[in-house]
Structure 1
Amino acid sequence: MRRKIAKFSILPVFAGSMFFSFSTKEAANLEMFSTSNLDLEYTVSFEEPETEIPEVHSDLPILGKSYLGFKEAVGFKESGGRYSVVNEYGYMGKYQFGKGTLELIGVYNPTEFLNSPELQEAAFYANASRNKWILIRDIARFEGKVINGVEVTESGILAAAHLAGPGSVKKYLRSWGATAFSDAFGTSIRNYMKRFGGYDTSFVNPERRAKAVIQPTRT
């Protein structure tokens, strides 16, 4: 993930009246997903931008709306799908991870990370899994709703969390889009929700302590 800046807030409107009530059963099902004491702002930074990674102009393979299609679309947007990319801020790999985010999912060796496509793919899944766990309540509340002209979907939420961090996505959703966020290149939560909406991310299991683990190859 490239370094993110230009976060700004607008006074939330209709704050008290716009949330949804849950049945006792739904509330019980979501009670286990408590995010107290979790770091939700780990992707946000406040350094001034300099230059942007040049875009690679090529066609994505047709992968449909599967999880594979989702992660390849995000990787193409972040780096042109290149595993070896390191930007001027030190964000690394196909999905442009920062050092802090990688440490949260158990990756401590940047050189090993850059040299291992398998580890980068595992990191993407682990980060999505952790973000899904953090945002599970908000997925249940807002999926199918329309905010700032964009239908909210699970895949859009997970993509936005990859861009801005789960804390920023919580604030955006719970303010009905009034609390906004854009990265150094002007890419917003709304943009990612729209661009990556409608993919099937049911493959991603929510896990609080998700770690990037390379699965052994079957022979």
Structure 2
Amino acid sequence: MKNIGSYVIVILAICSLAFYSFTTEEISIAENYNSTKGLALNYNAVNDSIDLNHAEALNTEITNAFSPNLGKTYVGFKEALGFKESRGNYFTVNTLGYLGKYQFGKETLKIIGIHNPVQFLKNPGLQEKAFLANAERNKWILRRDIKNYVGKRINGVLITESGILAAAHLSGPGNVKKYLRSNGAVGFSDAYGTTIRYYLKKFSGYDTSFIQPNQKAKVKKA
């Protein structure tokens, strides 16, 4: 009986050592698997404050990928343009001081009746009103050019009313007039390299009939 008892003790001891060894190995493997030792952990995070508004090299149809699918309506037009300008961020200011979702300059804001840029930046509703008022003013200034050039092709791009209004938002209506009336010979590019031609093409074919031409368009006070 003593011999049998001794054998049992020895067997149990061997099993315990084997179990301990196996468990220790599993823990070691798990630790090595989850360890960051030796890994290259440096990475470049995307900085949302980086201005991407007018970089023509980024012609990747970002709007179609990320903005709501609103079709070719007026709402689709303004949302696509707002996404291109600022990724739809009402509270951003770019490196040149342009403000909000639609990247307005302070002088343009004054023309449509907004004289407090700080309050403008804090107020999404005011920014939407400003976009419409500015588009109405631009449509009045460019009314003859819209009549004369829509349906024609300039530098390979079909001219549409929405493309003209988008280009006017980018460069001002005066530069769009020069471009159209010179048949594309007198170009324009902003500080980030975006051209009138690019906006004419990118924002082509939206229904902007909702925008009424208005020489004296102003943002009405709430």
After TM superposition, the score normalised by the length of structure 2 is 0.71
- Counterpart secondary structure, 2:187: strand
Instruction: From 121, 145, 151, give the equivalent of 2:158.
Output: 151
Confirm or deny: 8 A CA contact 1:107 1:212 kept in the other structure.
Answer: yes
Instruction: From 99, 102, 117, give the equivalent of 1:95.
Output: 102
Question: How do 1:108-119 residues align onto structure 2 when only pairs under 5 Å count?
Answer: 108-119=115-126
1:10 — aligned with what? none
- Cα RMSD between the aligned structures? 1.6
Counterpart-to-counterpart distance in 2, 1:104 and 1:68: 23
Question: How do 1:170-189 residues align onto structure 2 when only pairs under 5 Å count?
Answer: 170-189=177-196
From the CA coordinates, give the structure whose radius of gyration is larger. Answer: 2
1:199 — aligned with what? 206
Query: Can you list the C-alpha shifts for 1:132-174, whole angstroms capped at 9, x where unaligned?
Result: 0000000000000000000000000000000000000000000
Counterpart-to-counterpart distance in 1, 2:213 and 2:52: 33
* Count of residue pairs the alignment pairs up: 164
1:37 — aligned with what? none
Which structure has greater helix proportion? 2
Percent of aligned positions with the same letter in both sequences?
63
Question: How do 1:44-63 residues align onto structure 2 when only pairs under 5 Å count?
Answer: 53-54=51-52, 59-63=66-70
Confirm or deny: 8 A CA contact 2:91 2:101 kept in the other structure.
Answer: yes
Gaps of 5+ in 1: 1-50
1:129 — aligned with what? 136
Confirm or deny: 8 A CA contact 1:122 1:214 kept in the other structure.
Answer: no
Structure 2 residue identity aligned to 1:72:
E
Counterpart-to-counterpart distance in 2, 1:59 and 1:214: 32
- Counterpart secondary structure, 1:93: coil
Confirm or deny: 8 A CA contact 1:123 1:213 kept in the other structure.
Answer: no
Confirm or deny: 8 A CA contact 2:112 2:134 kept in the other structure.
Answer: yes
2:14 — aligned with what? none
Confirm or deny: 8 A CA contact 1:119 1:213 kept in the other structure.
Answer: no
After TM superposition, the score normalised by the length of structure 1 is 0.72
1:165 — aligned with what? 172
Confirm or deny: 8 A CA contact 2:52 2:85 kept in the other structure.
Answer: no
Counterpart-to-counterpart distance in 2, 1:123 and 1:139: 22
Query: Can you list the C-alpha shifts for 1:32-63, whole angstroms capped at 9, x where unaligned?
Result: xxxxxxxxxxxxxxxxxxx96147x7711100
1:4 — aligned with what? none
Structure 1 residue identity aligned to 2:145:
D
Instruction: From 55, 69, 85, give the equivalent of 1:78.
Output: 85
Query: Can you list the C-alpha shifts for 1:53-102, whole angstroms capped at 9, x where unaligned?
Result: 147x7711100000000000000000000000011221100000010000
Gaps of 5+ in 2: 1-48, 54-61
204-213 or 153-162: bigger deviation: 204-213
1:35 — aligned with what? none
- Counterpart secondary structure, 2:66: coil
